[in-house]
Amino acid sequence: MNVTVYSREAIERIIAEGSFPDNTAVISFCDPVLKHIDKSYSRVDYSSACNDIFYCEVDDLDLDYLPEKGYTYDSFFPEAVELAKYINKAYCDGKDIICQCEYGQSRSAGCAAAILEHFYHTGISVFANYDYYPNQVVYHKIYDALEELKQLRKQTLIR
């Protein structure tokens, strides 16, 4: 499984060119705050390129800023569990995964690092790439959800 990171601008260009890769699942992060600031803001439209998309409306926040926005670690990004199931299904279906956020540097990079670490133990490659600034909260929420899902599957097989 290939896991790649894209910005909104880059993925919209690929969609417009008609060169979106086959056999690909998409995790698209969008900014909930921007909807309130910019009424014309919308999610990336993948309808002409792909129908296997998981949208995540999650702020790009570091651990220190969660309380300022009214979150605890546990209440932030509750969709991580459903996202882990989506990622696992894409992996089992043999699909590649595109992780996309506004700038292709933080939330999408954290997500890609979590996927790579969980399945291949290579997540550090994203953290070591200076093109990215992986959101560590997003990374840990997704990685932990993937690991919990794996443990649940093991327990089910043992019984």
Instruction: Give domain limits for the chain.
Output: 3-158
Could you read off the pLDDT tens digit of each residue along the chain, which spans 159 residues? 999 999 999 999 999 999 999 999 999 999 876 555 667 778 899 999 999 999 999 999 999 999 999 999 999 999 999 999 999 999 999 999 999 999 999 999 999 999 999 999 999 999 999 999 999 999 999 999 999 999 998 887 765
Predicted TM-score (pTM) of this structure: 0.94
C-alpha angle 75-79-83 in degrees, rounded to nearest 5: 145
**Structure confidence at residue 107 (pLDDT):** 98
Burial label, 149 (beta-carbon count in 10 A; 0-12, 13-18, 19+): middle
Nearest in space to 101 (alpha carbons), one of 56, 52, 146, 53: 56
Half-sphere exposure of 24 (CA within 13 A, CB side): 20
Sign of CA dihedral 39, 43, 44, 46: negative
- Rounded Cα distance, 122 and 120, in Å: 5
**Structure confidence at residue 147 (pLDDT):** 97
Question: Quick one: tokens of 148?
Answer: 């919990």
- Rounded Cα distance, 46 and 147, in Å: 29
**Structure confidence at residue 159 (pLDDT):** 56
**Structure confidence at residue 33 (pLDDT):** 67
**Structure confidence at residue 157 (pLDDT):** 74
**Structure confidence at residue 6 (pLDDT):** 98
Please state which of the four CATH numbers 3.30.420.10, 3.90.190.10, 3.30.70.270, 3.20.20.140 is assigned to the domain occupying 3-158.
3.90.190.10
